[in-house]
Amino acid sequence: MFTPINGLPRDVIYGTLLAGLLVGIWEWEDLALRKRWPTESRVVLSLGVPVALIFVNRWGPMDVPYGVQVVALIALWYLVPRSSWTLVGSAAIFVSTAIQAVATFGWSRRTGIDLLMITVLTLVLHITTRPNSGFRFRVLLYTSVTGTAVIFMLMNHDPVHDLLISVTVASLAAAYILGRVNREQRWEQDIYWAEHDALTDALTRHGLDTWLHQLTPEARSSGLMIACDLDDFKWFNDTWGHDLGDQVLQAFAHRLRTELRDQDALVRPGGDEFTVWIPSVSSETATEIVQRLHRAVTEQPYDLSTGPFHLGVSMGWVYGALSEHTAQTADQNLLRAKRQGKNRFADPDDHSPESLADTNVPFAQLGWLGDAARALWGRWPTAAVLTNTAGRIVAVNPAYERLTGRTWAEVAEQKPGLNTAGETLPDVYRELWHTLQEGKIWQGSLKNRRPDGTTWWAQEWIVPIQVGTQVVGYWGNLWERKQDDNFPSIVDSPIPDETHGQRFLKNLIFDVVFQPLVDLHTESVLGYEVLIRPLRQGHPISPLVLFAEAAQAGVDNQVDLACLQAIRHTLGMMEAWPPDQKLFVNVRSTTLKDPIIFRRHLQSLAEVVPWGQLVVEVSERGTTAIQDWDALARLYPHVIFAQDDVGAGEADLARLVQLRPAWVKIDISLIVRIVDDDASRELVGALTQWAHGMGARVIAEGVETLAQGDILRQFGVDAGQGYLWAHPTPHLEMVIPHFFHSL
């Protein structure tokens, strides 16, 4: 037999049933209507709950307390998107409240107060609720409004009954409302980031589809499309790093966006490519808009942590219907702008005399040169490539295809950087472009990767091609450096416009050898000096003779850099450098005067030999090229210096005081006389004592006899180097004879 439930359990059950009714209507709307029928969804959200409450209150087994109407009102303003439907729903709840109040109190003062309260609460919700309201704010508002309604209900004829039902409905409905609002916000955020690029906040391809779908047919029928490409942006990333590259992309997108209207679209298809979609503009204003956007992103420098940076941007634009076909046309115009040169814009009708004079004629000449190059290079055994000023490949020969493993179809209109292994130092690319922009020939080595994954070093010559005073492209020759090449000799393939330094280096090969430096007290190896043994046309030539000839020809700096390249290549072919051994490298003072070039070579050496083990020996010859040695020391604060050949160079003592080297090497001219000449012995002793007073360690060069070594040990010289222990060899002599251990 069924027993009626009275009191507290009954009121909680009634409240739970009412909450279930409300949640059921809201959830059914979300699952069944919202995605497919948005208008019907708003109707159900606005009118469904008030109508249901009227039916329950009129014909149901329970009454509907005033607090439940308040809960329904709050839910309406959170669940219905802000629109006229929100006011419609508020009016429906007002009617529902009126019906309930009249049925309970008649047309009385209390009925007027109920309706006034609903009206005031509607105004409060209209003022305070926003889509971005925080979680704490929502809870506070919900609690305060509901609490006000609960206090107001204490004046009812059965306040406990109404209070229990209202609190039950409020608590259960609140959990659902807050959970649903948070769920929808997360869903909207997910949709937003699916449609927007995380770095620049531009639209993605998916976001563009949504944007186009929202446009009216009239807006899509005519508009302006602009395809943008940042000039040489890969070079910027390789040189300065991707963090700064990201800053440039963000700043570029921000500048564009500030020039656009809210209804316009900025899209980032990928990389450094952007497209701008501008609906509902006239064809007469299109050119002006493009010019304004181009000025906005190129005229003023970009402020980066490395300093101001001027960005070049190429644009191709077209006016017409906003469609994929129009986008392809804009891309074609962009390609034509890139072919014409950097930092410009082009449209299909850009055939003005000024445009032809500045861009089309040089590119036409380059196109003819590309056709001629492919014909002439067909049987040329040396790999060759022709690019335009944007770095896009215009022509290659079969030797290039064989060397890189990529066909002409794969590399056409691409940049040579598609071959890179991503391991070449950024400073190399910076020097490359700096040299080319000065109109000079660049030569150097770049590490590449073939499609099969194999890496190889390419020795390259890149020559600017000029038509009149304008550079219209670049011609490159490249060949693979073999593992047994210490420094690749210049092959006999024709190299256009060879410089004097290139002709001097022609047919030169640099062998690399190592001679150990020995601690005179323990006779252990503390490091090695790396030495160059040059060959000219296969015959040895003295380094002194070579550098004398190079100085006379004015190319001694280039020869010195060639020696550093040979050393780096040899070190790269060896196993890991011994962790407890130093490497002494000779560098001429004229080379130290060019910090950009020297730092690049120094960084390259430091990839193999850590900074704390790398010692730079300053040659004693040509020291007059540097007047301020103290400034030189400040220029390279992390470099360990050694002063080479002390006693045989120019201004040794003054240089030692200013440079303050960590090592001092006494010249062989003093060491050979140390046994028989008292003055030489006294001078070596004085130099050693003075160097130790400066905090430097002393090395004696050219030690060949046991007697010389014994005297040096007595004078406190720290280390020796010479034939007594080992001759220079291509490999590291890890084991040497000991002569003093028994003395």
Domain 358-481 sits in which CATH superfamily? PAS domain (3.30.450.20)
Whether 66 has a pLDDT exceeding 80, the answer reads no
Contacts of 7 (CB under 8 A, 6+ apart): none
Residues 6+ apart with CB under 8 A from 323: 220
Q: Which residue has the higher pLDDT, 412 or 158?
A: 412
pLDDT of amino acid 1? 36
* Fold assignment, 205-350: Alpha-Beta Plaits (3.30.70)
Mean pLDDT of the 301-305 span: 81
pTM (predicted TM-score)? 0.39
Tens digit of each residue's pLDDT (9 = 90 or more) over 254-269: 999 999 998 999 999 8
**What string of DSSP letters covers 391-415?**
S-EEEE-HHHHHHHT--HHHHTTS-
The C-alpha atoms of residue 143 and residue 170 are separated, in whole angstroms, by: 9
> What integer is the mean pLDDT of 594-622?
79
pLDDT in tens, 505-546: 777 888 899 999 999 988 899 999 999 988 887 778 888 888
Give the burial class of 710: count Cβ atoms within 10 A of its Cβ; 0-12 exposed, 13-18 middle, 19 or more buried: middle
Q: What is the pLDDT of residue 228?
A: 92
Of 415, 423, 389, 396, which is closest to residue 271 (Cα–Cα)?
Answer: 415
Most trustworthy range by pLDDT among 157-166, 383-392, 647-656: 383-392
Tell me the Cα Rg of the chain: 41
From the number of C-beta atoms within 10 Å of its C-beta (0-12, 13-18, 19+), residue 686 rates as exposed
List beta partners, residue 466: 471
Residue-wise pLDDT for 464-475, tens only, equals 887 655 677 888
Rounded average pLDDT over 709-729: 91
**Nearest C-alpha neighbor of 587 from the set 572, 608, 573, 568:** 568
Q: What's the whole-number mean pLDDT along residues 30-37?
A: 72
Top-confidence residue, 439 or 277: 277
Distances (CA, A) of 137 to 71, 140, 142, 197: 16, 5, 8, 30
pLDDT reported for residue 116: 77
Domain segments of the chain: what residues? 8-194, 205-350, 358-481, 505-721
- What is the rounded average pLDDT of the residues 572-596? 83
* 3-state DSSP percent of the chain in helix, strand and coil, to 5: 50, 20, 30
Architecture of domain 505-721: Alpha-Beta Barrel (3.20)
Average pLDDT over residues 1-9: 49
Mean pLDDT across the chain: 76
pLDDT at 494: 40
| Structure-token match 């305060």, residue found | 144
Dist CA 319 CA 694 (whole Å): 75
At 639 the pLDDT is 79
337 and 363 Cβ atoms separated by less than 8 Å: no
